[in-house]
A = this chain, B = another copy of it.
Amino acid sequence: MGTSEQRSVGAVTPQKAGFLEPLILKAGKTLAAYELVYETYGTLNADRSNAILVCHALSGGHHVAGHYVDDPKKIGWWDNMIGPGKAIDTDRFFVIGVNNLGGCHGSTGPTSIDRATGQPYGAGFPLVTVEDWVASQARLMDRLGIEKLAGVIGGSLGGMQALQWTITYPERIRHAFVIAAAPKLSTQNIAFNDVARQAIVQDPDFHGGNFYAHGKVPARGLKLARMLGHITYLSEDLLGEKFGRETKGEGYAFNYDVEFEIESYLRYQGDKFAQVFDANTYLIMTKALDYFDPAKESGGDLAKALAPAKAGFFVASFSSDWRFPAARSREIVRALVAGKKRVTYAEIDAPHGHDAFLLDDVHYHKIVAAYADNVAAEIGLGSRAGALVIGGTELEEMKGYGGKEGGGE
């Protein structure tokens, strides 16, 4: 822990790109027009080879690093990873954060006005998939004049997008950073998602997804979904260490008010989330997770599904992640090794659970930095002007660490 004292990309401004060419979705429906909101950090080099796209997970967005001038406390969700001198070094890379279609942070989604009706899409917004997101992201890369990405990086659902990029656009991606992901959801993963969705759709304030028109928000359902999700993002050990069985009072209260500290924490997180997140987006994101299964069309053969890929792969998992355990990352690694792809695998010892991919962990960031350094060398960015400083430790001592940590299975 401890990169927070490092430099930030500073104040950033979101941008919007409008697309008028219809996007045909996997669901069979078509988005006639749409907008994507995005941010960029660093500078695109002359040969446009140093771009890294960051894909977000369930509740993330385009605000990946830095802060807003009018809201300096609104720090990007991966600010500890991305910035000058950080693991993904914006002094060398041009980094792009984008909000996915169906999201609620500014890209076209359920809360957007459907030009056909003049009303918010609401329940009418089509279900979108990881493939659809990747297709829409590729168009944004076209718009930015980026033919080939140096890398696509993401954790969890974001890692799935990085993986999908290597299949859909093998010529347009040099390296995929697939972190805390899985090649497809397990039955248990789907089960948890369905409980979350049922909590939302059964909330009387959901109104079949058109709650905007009723001036309501299905806050109860969204809160429950977030509380449940939160449990699965953290390891049992971490929950135990952070909250234990601590209660508000000395003895037991013998009522149903908030009593254990963990209840207080979860309900607070749930309430906070329900105030800012869109319920339809939550449904869309969880369905995209459920549907992701690149090997489905090749009869479950992931190596076959990944056959078109030409990228180098950085795959990382966290020891205490029980949502997408290390075994799920190893499935990806196994398939890549079977297909003779270039792959570096890091199984990172971290206590936090699934959320570890978002957290400020020196060891983790050094491993990513080492891999990113190799990517930089490959595209001819030359050696770094000065050694990277991560958590106060010179990167030099870490040379080749990424390779040492894994490299296959």
Contact = CB atoms under 8 A, between A and B. Distances in A.
Interface of A: 26-29, 126-127, 184-188, 190-192, 194-195, 197-199, 201-202, 204, 220, 223-224, 227-228, 231, 236, 239-240, 242-245, 252, 254-256, 260, 262-263, 266-267, 270, 283, 287, 290-291, 293
Contacts of A204: 204
A190 B263 contact: yes
Residue among A194, A240, A293 with most chain B CB within 10 A: A194
A231 B262 contact: no
Given A127-B254, A187-B262, A201-B256, 6 more contacts: A127-B255, A191-B227, A191-B231, A195-B228, A195-B266, A198-B223
A92 to B, nearest CB: 40
A252 B239 CA distance: 36
8 contacts: A29-B254, A187-B242, A190-B263, A191-B266, A194-B260, A194-B262, A195-B224, A195-B231
A256 B231 contact: no
A21 to B, nearest CB: 22
Given A195-B231, A227-B194, A185 B245 contact: yes
Contacts of A240: 186-188
A188 B236 contact: yes
A351 to B, nearest CB: 14
A256 B287 contact: yes
B256 A197 contact: yes
Contact of A283 (B26, B28, B192, B256): B256
A202 B224 contact: yes
B190 A236 contact: no
A204 to B, nearest CB: 6
Contact of A192 (B198, B201, B220, B231): B231
Given A245-B184, A256-B283, A190 B262 contact: yes
B291 A252 contact: yes
Contacts of A224: 195, 198-199, 202, 224
A369 to B, nearest CB: 33
Contacts of A290: 260
A182 to B, nearest CB: 12
Contacts of A27: 252, 254
Contacts of A270: 198
Residue among A224, A236, A245, A293 with most chain B CB within 10 A: A245
A259 to B, nearest CB: 8
A126 to B, nearest CB: 7
Contacts of A194: 227, 260, 262-263, 266-267
Given A198-B223, A254-B127, A239 B287 contact: no
A287 B293 CA distance: 39
Nearest to A126: B254
A227 to B, nearest CB: 5
Contacts of A185: 245
A244 B197 CA distance: 19
A226 to B, nearest CB: 10
A270 B239 CA distance: 27
Contacts of A198: 223-224, 227, 267, 270
Residue among A27, A243, A254 with most chain B CB within 10 A: A254
Contacts of A243: 187
A240 B185 CA distance: 10
A239 B127 CA distance: 26
B256 A187 contact: no
A34 to B, nearest CB: 17
